[in-house]
């Protein structure tokens, strides 16, 4: 985890969901909007900062998938791998904002190219870990994700969002 | 805002919503669940830390209601007071969590009694600011809120959550 006082390399907000739908392509002309959807699981909003590098990602994914932030039917807290549950990853550059007067500034965020690369690898690592987990593979849980740099229209249905902030 | 390196007194996560519903009493026996609901506006998840005091609240409410985190139909960013929009306040003690191994610890959070007091005053201040704002009063926008210490079952419908973290 990011030590107190150090600028973080990445910031994640986690919420548990019963169902979450994310628009990945808006309606355009005759084409209807496209959505990805997950049932019960974890929503991960993620933002990368300047100075973040790829070495960070395995540790980051390992923490996020193993920390006990999901509630079973019996009210016990387990990891998303142990639930087992689905994952929806939402790129959310706004999480890097700092208040300046009445505006938000995003000067600490990764550049667009590095951010996209880190985000893509983050998604791939999450997919791999889920696929490699017997319980998740057997239950058929999935990783869905939004598109870096796009608007993220989200509909979220929770049994208590149980919102957590984890920095790296 | 909290200076880098200093332990914050409060943490808020903000998301814009098209509609948000929060269960404030679960179904029990013959009684159905009770919900509060807001249309277009701002969801504020809030958590207070040890050492937070009431002097913090006016500055905190002033910042959260005046920072430009809401999007108009034309894509311009304005404050929730200028939108004008509704506010749903969700007490969210989990935001104070720190990862320790695979578990979250909440040692930095306000004690239950202080936390409840700060939360109640925070809600009251938001209500007062909204009521005192001509544009909000005229539009009939409202502040709704959850119950401190209860489970916060949430259904959220966004046009892009536009998630921001602001610490005080």
Residue B163 has its nearest CB partner, among A92, A157, A158, at A92
pLDDT digits (tens, 9 = 90+) for B34-80: 999 999 999 999 999 999 999 999 999 999 999 999 999 999 999 99
Which pLDDT score, from 0 to 100, does residue A7 have? 83
pLDDT digits (tens, 9 = 90+) for B100-134: 999 999 999 999 999 999 999 999 999 999 999 99
Q: How far apart are CA B42 and CA A8, in angstroms?
A: 26
| DSSP annotation string for chain A | -PPTTSPPSEEEEEEEEEEEEEEEE--BTTBPPEEEEEEEEEEEEEEEBTT--TTHHHHHHHHHHHS--EE-TTS-EE-TTTTT-EEEEEE-GGGG-EEETTEEE-TTBPPHHHHHHHHHHHHHHHHHHHHH-HHHHHHT--EEE--TTS---EEEE-S----EEEE-
0.90 exceeded by the pTM?
yes
Closest residue in B to A23 (Cα–Cα): B160
A59 Cβ under 8 Å from any chain B Cβ:
no
A5 Cβ under 8 Å from any chain B Cβ:
yes
DSSP, res B109: B
pLDDT digits (tens, 9 = 90+) for A47-105: 999 999 999 999 999 999 999 999 999 999 999 999 999 999 999 999 999 999 999 99
Are A158 and B157 within 8 A, CB to CB? Answer: no
Chain B contacts in chain A segment 8-47 (CB below 8 A): 11, 13, 45
> Domains in chain A, ordered, with CATH?
10-167 (3.50.80.10)
pLDDT digits (tens, 9 = 90+) for A123-141: 999 999 999 999 999 999 9
Are B67 and A7 within 8 A, CB to CB? Answer: no
Q: What letters, b where the CB count within 10 A reaches 16 and e where it falls short, cover B126-141?
A: bbebbeebeebeeeeb
Per-residue 3-state assignment (H helix, E strand, C coil) for B14-64: EEEEEEEEEEEECCECCECCEEEEEEEEEEEEEEEECCCCCCHHHHHHHHH
How many angstroms away from the CA of B68 is the closest CA of chain A? 6
Residue B164 has its nearest CB partner, among A90, A95, A152, at A95
Q: How far apart are CA A68 and CA A81, in angstroms?
A: 9
A105 Cβ under 8 Å from any chain B Cβ:
no
How many angstroms away from the CA of B131 is the closest CA of chain A? 20
């Amino acid at each position: 985890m990011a030590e107190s006082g150090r600028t973080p390399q990445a910031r994640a907000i986690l919420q548990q969901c019963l169902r979450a739908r994310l628009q990945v392509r808006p309606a355009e002309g005759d084409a209807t909007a496209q959505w990805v959807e997950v049932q019960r699981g974890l929503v991960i909003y993620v933002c990368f900062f300047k100075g973040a590098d790829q070495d960070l990602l395995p540790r980051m994914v390992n923490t996020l998938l193993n920390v006990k932030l999901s509630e079973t039917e019996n009210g016990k807290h387990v990891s998303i791998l142990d639930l087992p549950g689905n994952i929806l990853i939402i790129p959310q550059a706004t999480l890097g904002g700092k208040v300046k007067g009445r505006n938000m500034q995003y000067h600490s965020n990764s550049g667009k190219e590095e951010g996209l690369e880190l985000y893509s690898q983050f998604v791939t690592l999450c997919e791999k870990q889920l696929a490699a987990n017997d319980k998740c593979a057997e239950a058929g849980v999935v990783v869905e994700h939004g598109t870096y740099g796009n608007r993220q229209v989200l509909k979220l249905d929770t049994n208590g969002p149980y919102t957590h902030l984890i920095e790296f």
